[in-house]
């Protein structure tokens, strides 16, 4: 029978310090795994690190021979708390001094566990004091737990059914250790190897190659298709209705997003010639002091979109967009005629589902700048389709996971705009 020792996590944790460090991670971008790929249920690294450490380290009460009194146990517990308080800080994520102390505490507890179980019939296999137990997360998701297990010296294994999660974990956990301590292979780095006299520690060499080849791909792609991604110039005409744009007049801003809406023909016979938008919300930003929204302007039997800043007069209507209820239930922007899901699906299957540019999001000196759409940017986006695009069909009988097939979007290529397909094919060609 295995002789378990009480672990620190079973008794107490410095929750205030852990919570504070975990909350702070939300504002950290540079170097954080969250910038690798969006994952909707990512666990804070600080929490993962603290929990794994506390699961592996014995509580002082497990060793009455060393800590015979409650006072002695509490003193030792406080020492471990101080280590955890340092361990969870973002600044110490790669601090080898702090990490080495944590690893030593884990090793010390593991050696005690092995000694307590030396009489186990499989002690040689299960309780080897020179080999820590492996860590396995069968539902790894964003990879926080296996990443922190690896950082604390454990052999980490991760799995997940979601291919995005698998990709994230491969990039964070599987690939970097294979190149640990190796120099970069790109030509520029090889020229500078004599300058880099300190050697390449950890994944520094791999990171240097990722930076080099990533920049090369970006530069090459910009040469080929940069004209499809123009900057937007803030004009005096734009600033007439938007005083907040006056300081930016004459500047050319880098666009970080074009916001589009799907469209279908209106079910109202009087406006059947118009493609009306399917929009879940007209709200662009709810950040205090940075509120922005789209206001549809109906004129001459048609419509256009304009972007305004501040709070809308009718917040509820703006929040709802053209949506009437859950699911594919919208209303015609011009006439208010309800558009049921059956109508939208029929339009999609008939090939009459289109797109309309709603807003442009640009990068300003002090954050995002929301701008009204322009014909120039809408026309550029409607470039020619690339000569070759993936023709693979989606499973039409699995509408629970591939619901877009109900709307006539049956190929993977149908999910992208022509410009996006050009970009994807260009990047694939460069790889």
Q: Are residues 242 and 369 in the same domain?
A: yes
Residues 267 and 361 in one domain: yes
Are residues 318 and 402 both part of a single domain? no
Residues 304 and 430 in one domain: no
253 touches 314 (CB < 8 A): no
> What pLDDT is attached to residue 141?
93
Across the chain, mean pLDDT equals 92
Within a domain: 139: yes
In a domain, 183, yes or no: no
149 and 82 in a single domain? The answer is yes
- Identify the domain boundary among 149, 178, 207: 178
Q: Quick check: helix, strand or coil at residue 306?
A: strand
Q: Give the separation between CA 57 and CA 255, rounded to whole angstroms.
A: 50
What whole-number distance in Å separates Cα of residue 219 and Cα of residue 40?
A: 31
Please indicate, yes or no, if residue 266 is contained in any of the structural domains: yes
Q: How many C-beta neighbours within 10 Å does residue 56 have? A: 25
Give exposure, 247-256, as e/b (b: 16+ Cβ within 10 Å). Answer: ebeeeebebe
* Burial (CB count within 10 angstroms: exposed 0-12, middle 13-18, buried 19+), residue 358: buried
Task: Give me the count of residues in the chain.
Answer: 431
> Could you report how far apart the first and last alpha carbons of the chain are, in Å?
54
> Is pLDDT at 3 greater than 80 in this prediction?
no
> pTM for the full model?
0.74
Range 273-300 average pLDDT: 94
Q: How many other CB atoms are found less than 10 A from the CB of residue 218?
A: 13
Strand partners, 265: 275
State whether 282 and 144 are in the same domain. no
The arithmetic mean of pLDDT across residues 66-73, rounded, is 95
- Position 37 in a domain: yes
Q: Is residue 419 part of a domain?
A: yes
Identify whether 80 is part of a domain: yes
196-240 confidence digits (pLDDT tens): 556 788 888 898 999 999 999 999 999 999 999 999 999 999 999
Same domain, 360 and 264: yes
Looking at the structure, tell me whether residues 139 and 20 fall in a common domain.
yes
The arithmetic mean of pLDDT across residues 331-345, rounded, is 93
pLDDT band at 243 (very low <50, low <70, confident <90, very high): very high
> Do residues 36 and 171 lie in contact, with contact meaning Cβ atoms separated by under 8 Å?
yes
- In terms of domains, do 127 and 139 share one? yes
DSSP string, 39-99: -TTPPPHHHHHHHHHHHHSBPGGG-TTT--SHHHHHHHHHHHHHHHHHHT-GGGTT-HHHH
Q: What is the pLDDT, as a whole number, of residue 19? A: 96
Domain containing 72: what range?
8-178
Span 121-141, average pLDDT:
93
> Distance (Å, rounded) from C-alpha 191 to C-alpha 370?
44
Distance CA 123, CA 128 (A): 7
Residues 28, 172, single domain; the answer is: yes
**Does 370 lie in the same domain as 270?**
yes
In three-state secondary structure terms, 363 is: strand
Q: Does residue 246 sit in the same domain as residue 172? A: no
Question: Residues 78-96: what's their mean pLDDT?
Answer: 96
pLDDT at 348: 93
User: How many Cα atoms occupy the beta-carbon half-sphere of 400 within 13 Å?
Assistant: 0
Judged against a pLDDT cut of 70, whether residue 128 lies above it is answered with: yes
**In 226-371, which residue ranges form alpha helices assigned H by DSSP?**
236-240, 315-320, 341-349
Query: What is residue 139's predicted lDDT score, i.e. its pLDDT?
Result: 94
Does 271 have pLDDT greater than 80?
Answer: yes
Would residue 370 count as lying in a domain? yes
The verdict on residue 126 lying in a domain is yes
Domain count, the chain: 3
Residue 376 class from Cβ within 10 Å (0-12 exposed, 13-18 middle, 19+ buried)?
exposed
Q: 319 with 311: CB under 8 angstroms?
A: no
């Amino acid at each position: 029978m295995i002789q378990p020792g009480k672990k620190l996590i079973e008794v107490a944790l410095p929750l205030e310090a852990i919570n504070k460090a975990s909350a702070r991670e939300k504002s950290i971008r540079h170097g954080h795994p969250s910038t690798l790929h969006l994952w909707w249920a990512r666990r804070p690294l600080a929490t993962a690190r603290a929990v794994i450490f506390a699961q592996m380290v014995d509580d002082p009460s497990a060793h009455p021979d060393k800590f015979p009194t409650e006072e002695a146990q509490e003193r030792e517990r406080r020492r471990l708390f101080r280590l955890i308080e340092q361990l969870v800080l973002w600044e110490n994520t790669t601090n080898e001094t702090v990490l080495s102390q944590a690893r030593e505490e884990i090793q010390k507890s593991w050696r005690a566990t092995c000694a307590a179980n030396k009489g186990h019939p499989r002690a040689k296999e299960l309780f080897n004091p020179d080999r820590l137990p492996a860590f396995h997360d069968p539902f790894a998701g964003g990879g926080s737990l296996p990443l922190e297990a690896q950082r604390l010296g454990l052999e980490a294994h991760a799995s997940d059914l979601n291919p995005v999660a698998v990709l994230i974990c491969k990039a964070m956990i599987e690939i970097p250790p294979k190149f640990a301590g190796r120099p970069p292979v790109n030509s520029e780095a090889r020229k500078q190897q004599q300058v880099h006299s300190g050697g390449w520690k950890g994944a520094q060499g791999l990171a240097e190659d990722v930076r080099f080849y990533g920049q090369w791909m970006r530069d090459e792609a910009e040469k080929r298709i940069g004209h499809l991604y123009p900057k937007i110039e803030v004009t005096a005409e734009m600033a007439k209705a938007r005083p907040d744009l006056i300081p930016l007049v004459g500047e050319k801003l880098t666009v970080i997003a074009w916001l589009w809406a799907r469209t279908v023909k209106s079910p109202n016979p009087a406006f059947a010639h118009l493609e009306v938008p399917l929009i879940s919300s007209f709200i662009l930003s709810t950040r205090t002091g940075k509120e922005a929204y789209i206001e549809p302007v109906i004129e001459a039997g048609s419509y256009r979109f304009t972007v305004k800043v501040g709070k809308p007069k009718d917040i509820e209507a703006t929040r709802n967009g053209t949506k009437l209820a859950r699911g594919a239930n919208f209303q015609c922007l011009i006439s208010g005629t309800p558009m049921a899901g059956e109508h939208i699906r029929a339009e999609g299957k008939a090939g009459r589902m289109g797109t309309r540019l709603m807003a442009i999001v640009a990068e300003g000196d002090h954050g995002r700048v929301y701008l009204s759409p322009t014909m120039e940017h809408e026309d550029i986006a409607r470039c020619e389709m690339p000569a070759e695009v993936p023709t693979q069909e989606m499973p039409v009988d699995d509408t629970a996971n591939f619901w877009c097939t109900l709307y006539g979007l049956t190929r993977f290529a149908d999910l992208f705009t022509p410009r996006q397909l050009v970009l994807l094919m260009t990047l694939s060609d460069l790889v």
